[in-house]
Amino acid sequence: MEQGNQRSLLLRLASLFPCPPGLRLSYGTAGFRANGSLLKSTVFRVGVLAALRSLKTRAAIGLMITASHNPALDNGVKIADPHGGMMTQEWEPFADELANADSPDSVVQLIFDFVKKQDIPFGQGQTGEVILARDTRPSGETLLEAAKQGISAVAGVVSIDLGVLTTPQLHWMVRNKNKGLKATEFDYFSQLSDSFRILMDLMPEEAVDSAVDEKLVVDGSNGVGGEKLKELNKLLCGLDIQVRNSGKEGEGLLNERVGADFVQKEKVAPLGFSPIDVELRCASLDGDADRIVYFHVLPTGHISLVDGDKILSLFALFIKEQLNLLAGHPVKLGVVQTAYANGASTDYLKKLGLEVLFTKTGVKYLHERASEYDIGIYFEANGHGTILFSEEFLRWLEVRRSELASTKAGSEEQKASERLWAISSLVNQATGDAFSGLLLVEVILQYKRWSVKRWNELYEDLPSRQVKVKVKDRNAVVTENAETTVVTPKGLQEAINSEIAKYTQGRSFVRPSGTEDVIRVYAEASTQDAADSLAQSVANHVDFFLGCGCTTSKH
Ligand code: NG1
Ligand code: ZN
């Protein structure tokens, strides 16, 4: 298409999606998020951006409409790059400018300037492809249409609408498609269930004979995860997952007192679970099924939470055991956490002899660091994480597997090589995935014949509390040192330090959320009361420094 025609097509379509006055967004921890009714122009523009990214990378790009753990009326949009991970951070400033441009003319001008600067083959016969999906939010369908319009404004790029998917499914499909591998939803389910079966078949005999006696019930957060998990369950041998949503079929509201974020932050059972569930092994997904936490309900109705840190610890322990069985390769195994990781988990991982790195919040940061290892395990405390295997390590493992199959078939060493291979195919290599995380947890618990209670005893969490503070401008807080030190406003960090000093094992930090309009406060101390009180006094300082006299809410 000629440049003039391309310009007028963009202008015409951009005019159909005016930006609501005063709307200011930033690409944040996981894309753009806001009330769904405000996002049409943003999603249209992100559609354009995804199409340009496809032209630039000459590969398929993913576009997901979701606001994950946020309330049902919110929505959001994020882009998956060709390897299946989050969009390169280099393009985030352009995404911000585009989303905040105040007129169709400035949208078009920004696009043409960017195309020139990035040397994007735009209007030169180059073709591209954007794969779209959404979660179950009411605004999802309309927003997906806006994204399609954005994609259609870029000549040569087509959109492929995959309808309702979990976030990790879409990321997995983008990655596979670009690697020339099978990439349908059925392929996704088959890969997970096949590798799960291989791992179950490789189980030591003692473990097979004494199956763990708890039933697994999963809180689907009233979202896409529950429905998809039911489909996956049909293909599983040796595990029966029951999905539970709150209320009658289809009645429970997405993320409303249910889901991984609620359970992890509030440390209470999701709606629909009660003391009659004491015998069950329970897990919670979040709204787009990229997070998972486990818990079991106590007779008092409280829960004992097994968070992302403990999932990470279980995985690290198991992988290390398998690597110990496997001679011949100095494997670089490392773990990546954020400041939200419970201090006790970091101590445990270090005692296991592992290298522990810290990054800012958001899987885009953790993923990047984890990919520097042969095997890199990353998890946020909220249950968002995965295990990455480097291409080089997998090449070595492939050779070793076939050597061991011919020289030491049936030995523990040979089985360890097969197990690691199966784990690399079970665990989503594109992004954190509640389903692959759940299946690996189930395998390991079965191998070890551990109940959730026994797993929880790996180490004792330090009591912690999270609160959020509403402020006038969350961007007034600037942090450094993996978000553990406030540099602006001046004096706030000193105030936090003076509170921490009052508590045994006290630790606290604050940061602006990238997905909600709040400042998050985290505190840890030797007792729950102390952690609660430290969190509250730090929140009071935040309120004072950023002064709007607004309310502080729990979680
Ligand atoms: P923000 O709102 O930036 O804290 C939250 C989670 C992140 C990540 C993103 C994406 C906490 C404290 N933060 O980000 O870890 O999962 O959402 O969903 O849980
Ligand atoms: Zn999520």
Domains of the chain with bracketed CATH: 3-164 (3.40.120.10), 182-461 (no CATH), 464-554 (3.30.310.50)
Residue from 360, 515, 519, 520 whose mutation best tests the ligand 1 pocket (most atoms within 8 A of CB): 515
- Residue among 112, 104, 86 nearest 41 (CA): 104
Residue-level pLDDT at 211: 60
For atom 3 of ligand 1, the residue with the nearest CA is 514
Task: Please tell me the distance between residue 291's alpha carbon and the centre of ligand 2 in angstroms.
Answer: 6
Identify the nearest ligand to the CA of 29 by its number: 1
Distances (CA, A) of 138 to 144, 416, 454: 11, 46, 40
Q: How far is CA 518 from the centre of its chain?
A: 20
Residue from 255, 307, 380, 474 whose mutation best tests the ligand 1 pocket (most atoms within 8 A of CB): 380
Residue-level pLDDT at 311: 98
H or E element, residue 421? helix 412-426
Residue-level pLDDT at 321: 96
Please, are residues 377 and 316 in contact by the beta-carbon 8 Å criterion?
yes
DSSP 12: H
- Residue among 308, 269, 258 nearest 434 (CA): 308
Residue-level pLDDT at 515: 85
SS3 355: strand
Q: Quick one: tokens of 88?
A: 């390169």
Identify the nearest ligand to the CA of 168 by its number: 2
Residue from 27, 29, 68, 518 whose mutation best tests the ligand 1 pocket (most atoms within 8 A of CB): 29
Please, are residues 230 and 242 in contact by the beta-carbon 8 Å criterion?
no
Helices (H) and strands (E) in the chain, counts: 19, 20
pTM for the model: 0.95
Q: How far is CA 456 from the centre of its chain?
A: 22
Please, are residues 296 and 231 in contact by the beta-carbon 8 Å criterion?
no
Atom of ligand 1 nearest to the CA of 265: 19
Alpha helices, DSSP H, located in 179-292: 185-201, 205-209, 224-233, 260-266
For atom 4 of ligand 1, the residue with the nearest CA is 513
Identify the nearest ligand to the CA of 385 by its number: 1
Task: Please tell me the distance between residue 514's alpha carbon and the centre of ligand 1 in angstroms.
Answer: 7
10-residue stretch averages of pLDDT, the chain, 555 residues long: 85 96 89 96 98 98 97 97 96 97 96 96 91 97 98 96 98 98 98 97 79 83 97 95 84 94 94 92 97 95 95 98 87 96 96 95 95 98 98 96 96 96 98 98 95 95 95 92 94 97 96 91 97 97 80 49
Identify the nearest ligand to the CA of 264 by its number: 1
Task: Please tell me the distance between residue 8's alpha carbon and the centre of ligand 1 in angstroms.
Answer: 39
Q: Strand 241-244 relative to strand 216-219: parallel, antiparallel, unpaired?
A: parallel
Q: Which of 68, 345, 417, 424 is catalytic?
A: 68
Please, are residues 325 and 412 in contact by the beta-carbon 8 Å criterion?
yes
Residue 488 sits at φ, ψ, to 5 deg, of: -135, 140
Q: Which residues form ligand 1's pocket by a CB distance below 6 Å? A: 29-30, 68, 340, 361-362, 380, 382, 384, 513-516, 520
Atom of ligand 1 nearest to the CA of 382: 19
Contacts with 290 (C-beta within 8 Å, 6 or more apart), sequence order: 68, 166, 167, 168, 384, 431, 432, 433, 434
Task: Please tell me the distance between residue 287's alpha carbon and the centre of ligand 2 in angstroms.
Answer: 6
Count Cβ atoms within 10 A of the Cβ of residue 263 and give its class: 0-12 exposed, 13-18 middle, 19 or more buried: buried
Please, are residues 359 and 338 in contact by the beta-carbon 8 Å criterion?
yes
For atom 7 of ligand 1, the residue with the nearest CA is 362
Beta bridge partners of 357: 336
Task: Please tell me the distance between residue 36's alpha carbon and the centre of ligand 2 in angstroms.
Answer: 16
| Residue 68 designated active-site | yes
Give the count of beta carbons closer than 10 Å to the beta carbon of residue 147: 28
